[in-house]
Chains A and B, each alone.
Chain A
Amino acid sequence: MATAVLTQTVDLVARFPGMVSADTRPGFTGFIVNKENLVEVAASLRDEFGYDLLTAVTAVDYIAENKMEVVYHAYKTTGGGGLAFKVQVDRVDPIEVPSLVNIWAGVDFQEREAWDLFGIKFTGHPDLRRILMWEGFEGHPMRKDWKEPFFEEETKPFKSRWPEGKHTFAEQKNPFRDNLNFPKDFDPEKYVVDKEEDLYLSLERDTMKDIDGNMKTDHIVVNMGPHHPSTHGVLRVAVQLDGETIIGLKPVMGYLHRNHDKIGERNTYLQNIPYTDRLDYFNSMSNNFGYVTTVEKLMKIPVAERAEYIRVIMAELTRIQNHLVFIGMLMNDLGTMYTPSLYAFEERELILDIFEAVSGARMMCNYFRFGGVVRDIPDDVLQKIKDLVLERIPAKTDEMERFLNDNEILGARLKGIHVLNAEDAVRYSVTGPVLRAAGVPYDIRRADPYSVYDRFDFDVAVRHNGDMMDNYLIRFDEIRQSLRILEQAIKQMPQGPINSQKPAYQVRVPAGEAYGRVESPKGELGFYLVSNGKPNPYRYHVRPASFVNLTAIESICIGTKIADFVALLAMLDIVMGELDR
């Protein structure tokens, strides 16, 4: 509720007469800005009103009204609720909206995503290429009139499953028949990837300015990945090198893309919960948390008191295991193969044992429901959580610090490398530990509290150098703060029901929109939902932390050595399930 009040205190309509109107559709908030005035309004939002952190940009295809809408969510790094503003344009190609990349650099990838999936041209964007789909793909898959291969019906549940459900294999339906749109002269037998020039040209553009006037030397382009063992999954980066120095870099992603958003729009609200597990597969509890919080916002239902505490306990355990794995993987990428990472994995396994005992699965937990959680924590598991939180994990964190912190080799590899300063971090919409290591004490648990986080006494971990060493050390700080929260949550947890709602496989969600966000271990995990009152969401959008954090990668690593680059991927803590969706 606090969010809504804060949003209304900014009266954009009075400030920009004739340019801005309030969004008056039932269940919607925020403002609709005229396309022509977007850049002006956005600049004043940043400079005059202090909305310096633009976290989410996405589009919605209102096919019935023949409108395409771009939705922006801006926040202040000093805390408080957000401000949503939208631009509506006619749904006639070419759809053009001015790019905001010069005001908030963090919109770069998100605008490219909106271009890729919706076909909205952001005029003024310096590098508007496809980002998740492959170059040469025809169509824009998030549009409501686009159908995927093996398309069966608009929404689940499919009618062919019951009562006359004869099993068929999806692949037996010929994908080349009428379900798939290929370019007219496309022949898969003869296809050669030839659209890569754009990628290399985009590298060239950024690098020309640095070498102006210097001795003419040849630069080489190196492609790392998509199967390089250190690229954290199927991420590919095209790096331009001057000797060993990086002078240009573009990440290429989408190798694990499955259009999570489109799947989410076919699903019912409930069916989406297990799918969110598969976004950031290290932290399925946090993903559940974000999604369920957003739907609860839309449904306007309370959450059972005990369930709130169980949720916090699970989310913080998730954070601890994520950060432990982060430390282990950072060491792996630096070349201390396996010893530290397996020390970290031991503690992680013990935490996963807890997840398995309460939810039934170690990684794909599917534990949260609208209004609460699936089942209560059994007494023996609660005892195990207490043992871990009060005894084992503090001791093991100390051991890990003793093991690594003073190590001279580690210091030489981490200190002063890959510095991201506070100003750039905010400009690039970086969130989570990376932002805090750069000196901005911005944590959603404190800045815009959700669930019961306002009841706990904890500090927002912050470091000030923004280099790799601080990024490494801040993870330890956060583990300790999580342990503090866990201790309090276990102590304060009341008895009572674990769900405020009756179990129902079909929930009723009133029409409207909601943007919900949680502080996932990797940063801000946001969900943007539009409901039209039907059993399936009209628009389901995930704002993943690692995708947006990756926007800053090029500016961080220009001028550094290629050997340090792999460690940068570890520092940003990306996970491809979330990045590619």
Chain B
Amino acid sequence: MYGSGLLKSLKVTWDRFWVTYTEDISWWLRGKKRYNTLEGVAHRSSKDTKGIFTVQYPEEQLLLPEEARYIPFLVFNEGADGKKEVLCTSCGICAKVCPPQCIWIVRSNDAVTGRPVPEPTEFYIDADICMNCGFCAEYCPFDAIKMDHDFDIASYGRNIYNMEKLLKPSSYYQSIRPQNFKMEEEARKAKEAAKAAKAATAASAPAS
């Protein structure tokens, strides 16, 4: 019959429309909040989601997975007397691997010995050029530069990030990427243990 296809189409939209109400009511009956709660947002991005799908940014935000990446930052360890121990050694690998070439690093030499100082004198990232590819974090041999989760950075001016803006404590890194942090810590400890074992055998070898 002509028009039956149209009715079939409308049946689908009708079902979809109706389920927005039944879904909300079923949450309400179970005494749960579907909106403005983590549970609600998580359910809306799961395979079982039905009804209203939209996440109302900025009141609600999608849950970021650990690997989510945005503009990089530099990691520092908090020293004993509040001193910032910057992990970066200004080796320049991030500046070399950067596809849009948005990293600028100033490395200076020690006034007395003339040898390069590990800690960078200045470190700039042009956040307007950065394409958030994550290569700098991936190829940094010192785990000194990492990708951030903070994506609300819209501003009126140009965004040139200097050392002051880029440095963030390792506790922050741990809070946004707990799995990665754990893995890196374990790898570092294993490496140190291997080094210590090697040193121990080297020390005992001439004695025997």
Contact = CB atoms under 8 A, between A and B. Distances in A.
A274 B104 contact: no
B132 A270 contact: no
Contacts of A402: 8, 12
Max count, chain A CB within 10 A of own CB: residue among B8, B67, B106, B124:
B67
Contacts of B53: 346, 349
A156 B102 CA distance: 12
B106 A343 contact: no
Interface string B134-174: 11001100000001000000000010100000000000000
B133 A366 contact: yes
B131 interface: yes
B92 interface: yes
A161 B91 CA distance: 12
A402 B49 CA distance: 20
Interface string B61-95: 01011011100000000000000000000101101
B47 A387 contact: yes
Contacts of A350: 45, 47, 49
A404 interface: yes
Range of interface residues on B (Cβ < 8 Å): 35 or more
Contacts of B93: 505
B147 to A, nearest CB: 7
A384 interface: yes
A382 B90 CA distance: 38
Nearest to A343: B16
Nearest to A393: B47
A384 B63 CA distance: 15
Interface in B37-72: 45, 47, 49, 53, 62, 64-65, 67-69
A25 to B, nearest CB: 30
B113 interface: no
A157 B96 CA distance: 5
Given A165-B124, A167-B124, A274-B135, A388 B5 contact: no
Interface residues of A, number: 56
Contact of B67 (A271, A359, A364): A359
A343 B90 CA distance: 49
Contacts of B65: 353, 356-357, 360, 381
A458 to B, nearest CB: 23
A546 interface: no
A358 B65 CA distance: 9
B99 A267 contact: yes
A214 interface: no
B43 to A, nearest CB: 12
Nearest to B8: A406
Given A275-B99, A404-B9, A505-B135, A166 B47 contact: no
Given A339-B13, A360-B134, 7 more contacts: A165-B103, A356-B68, A360-B67, A361-B69, A364-B133, A402-B8, A506-B96
Interface of A: 156-158, 160-167, 169, 267-268, 270-275, 339, 343, 346, 349-350, 353, 356-361, 364, 366, 374-375, 381, 384, 387-388, 391-392, 399, 402-411, 503, 505-506
23 contacts: A156-B101, A157-B95, A161-B101, A161-B103, A162-B92, A162-B104, A164-B106, A166-B104, A166-B106, A270-B97, A272-B99, A350-B45, A350-B47, A356-B67, A358-B67, A360-B65, A366-B133, A402-B12, A407-B6, A407-B8, A408-B2, A505-B96, A505-B139
4 pairs of A and B residues whose beta carbons are closest in the complex: A165-B104, A406-B5, A162-B92, A274-B133
